[in-house]
Amino acid sequence: MLEIFFELHEDLAQQGPGSDEYTRKAFSLTQPLSPKSRILDLGCGPGRQTIELAKLSKGEIHAVDNHKPYIEELRIRTMKARVTEKIKTHVGSMDDLNFAEESFDLIWSEGAIYSIGFEKGLKLWRRFLKPGCYIAVTEVSWLKSDLPEELRNYWNVAYPDIGSIGDNIRRVEQAEFELAATLTLPASTWWDGYYTQILERMEVLNKKYADDETARKVFDEEKREIEMFRRYSDYYSYVFYIAKRPL
Ligand SMILES: C[S@@+](CC[C@H](N)C(=O)[O-])C[C@H]1O[C@@H](n2cnc3c(N)ncnc32)[C@H](O)[C@@H]1O
């Protein structure tokens, strides 16, 4: 099952909603950043945002993901973008990090913290950030409160911890950060570069796996996720939470 999932996702430019434009907008809210900054990008995937961060900053970036093929894709991309020296890659888990405490000037994570839990991740990562520095993390969040039942039922299974922006701001504060800003990703950042690519890839793989029941299940799940977004994108999106570790 996992193999089919990865075949569907391999070589995509990005592995979740997001865009370079929004990475840049969020980055502008984390200034000033020292010229010798050390940035930690957690759940980097194939590194769309890692490369953008390398273009935006002068120091070094440590990119961590537990799926080795994504790290390999990222390494190839760093060469193409000529930023290899700035990016150190690590295959490892974001809940078992071996970096020195207070050694980063910025912690970044797009579309990945949900896999260990938003509040848990914030609490775990805080120690690696220097006091007075920022964390910028995206988390899927409710944008409205009058949720259609079908949508609520879907997310109750997919990610029961999903909360409103207010809930997530409270979680940020529970983890002892001071919120600086939130930034909601528009629906275009889910379609361009992500869902549209998956739908195109599925079209090809549909033929290859026409009689494969496991593949059908994986594809049906993806199609359901995408259909939910097509119908209800006004109700939820990824939101950047940009917050400072107090001095
Ligand atoms: C939705 S993708 C987002 C990837 C990338 N940030 C992007 O926006 O394109 C989530 C990423 O988190 C990684 N991941 C999931 N659980 C992880 C863990 N425990 N430790 C490290 N990486 C993890 C996955 O391999 C995947 O690359």
Pocket probe for ligand 1: among 20, 41, 44, 197, the residue whose CB has the most ligand atoms within 8 Å is 44
Domains in the chain: ranges and CATH: 17-186+236-244 (3.40.50.150)
140 CA distance to ligand 1 centroid (A)? Answer: 14
Per residue in 62-117, pLDDT tens?
Answer: 999 999 999 999 999 999 999 999 999 999 999 999 999 999 999 999 999 999 99
Residue nearest to atom 4 of ligand 1 (CA): 45
Residue 82 has a CB neighbour count (10 Å cut-off) of 10
The pLDDT mean for the chain works out to 96
Q: What is the mean pLDDT of residues 120-146?
A: 98
Percent of the chain with pLDDT over 70: 100
Cα separation of 236 and 231, whole Å? 11
Q: What is the mean pLDDT of residues 162-188?
A: 98
Confidence (pTM): 0.96
Residue nearest to atom 20 of ligand 1 (CA): 93
Q: Band of the pLDDT at 34, cuts 50, 70, 90?
A: confident
The partner residues of 184 in beta bridges, in order of sequence, read 239
